[in-house]
Amino acid sequence: MAILNILRYPDPRLHKVAKPVTVFDAKLEQLVADMAETMYEAPGVGLAASQVDFHEQLLIIDTSDTKDALTVFINPEIIWASDEMQVYDEGCLSVPGVYDGVERHARVKVRALDVKGLPFELEADGLLAVCIQHEMDHLLGKVFVEYLSPLKRNRIKTKMQKEERGLQREEMLRAQGRRF
């Protein structure tokens, strides 16, 4: 298994629209295993393939306290959503350290395929419903900060770009240290 690199906002690759998964093979199972290891290590409760630069409709979620209830959603579709809405303080592994309220449907019913290509349906509320909608947005190339005001979004973008420059500088110094 392997820890994958999680793209950080505002990386333009986070805005690619994912294509349906058509091949269910050992390579797909390996990607799911690597994504799960990456999500648990982060730690997070969800991860979309788009966040690890794989632009097919695949996402994983585990909102359990015991971290032993991984659900894999392939080619997911929301087939019903409640009129009732709820606001939840969301986070995102692609925007570390940023949490803000987003309004979404309080309950959703999803149809998806599992890693073997078998169809299933699931009705969700609470954090699971939030997470499904958040991860499905990633597959459409949308990051949760796009629900925030332009002012907040620009502040977040500037903060992330500054952090990115710091990370690149650290990486350069580490590489120089290895050379000398």
Q: Any idea how long the chain is? A: 180
Applying CB under 5 A, does 92 fall inside the site for Zn ion? yes
Stretch that binds ligand K1U, among 10-18, 74-82, 91-99, 114-122 (CB under 6 A): 91-99
Q: Rank residues 24 and 54 by Cβ distance to ligand K1U and give the closer one.
A: 54
Burial 10-20 (b: 16+ CB within 10 A, else e): beeebebebee
Q: Rank residues 115 and 135 by Cβ distance to ligand K1U and give the closer one.
A: 135
104: partner contacted, choices Zn ion, ligand K1U, none (Cβ within 5-8 A by kind) = none
Q: Rank residues 24 and 78 by Cβ distance to ligand K1U and give the closer one.
A: 78
Element (H, E) at 75: strand 71-81
- Tokens for 162, please give them: 């500054």
Using the 8-state DSSP alphabet, how is residue 67 labeled?
Answer: S
Q: Rank residues 66 and 176 by Cβ distance to ligand K1U and give the closer one.
A: 66
Stretch that binds Zn ion, among 60-68, 78-86, 90-98, 107-115 (CB under 5 A): 90-98
34 by DSSP, 3-state: which? helix
CA nearest to 2, candidates 38, 40, 27: 38
Element (H, E) at 176: helix 150-179
Q: How far is the CB of 172 from ligand K1U (least distance, A)?
A: 27
In the complex, which residue's CB is closest to ligand K1U?
44
Tell me the catalytic residues.
Answer: 135
Applying CB under 5 A, does 145 fall inside the site for Zn ion? no
Residues 89 and 94: their CA atoms lie apart, in Å, by 15
Applying CB under 6 A, does 76 fall inside the site for ligand K1U? no
Q: How far is the CB of 178 from ligand K1U (least distance, A)?
A: 31
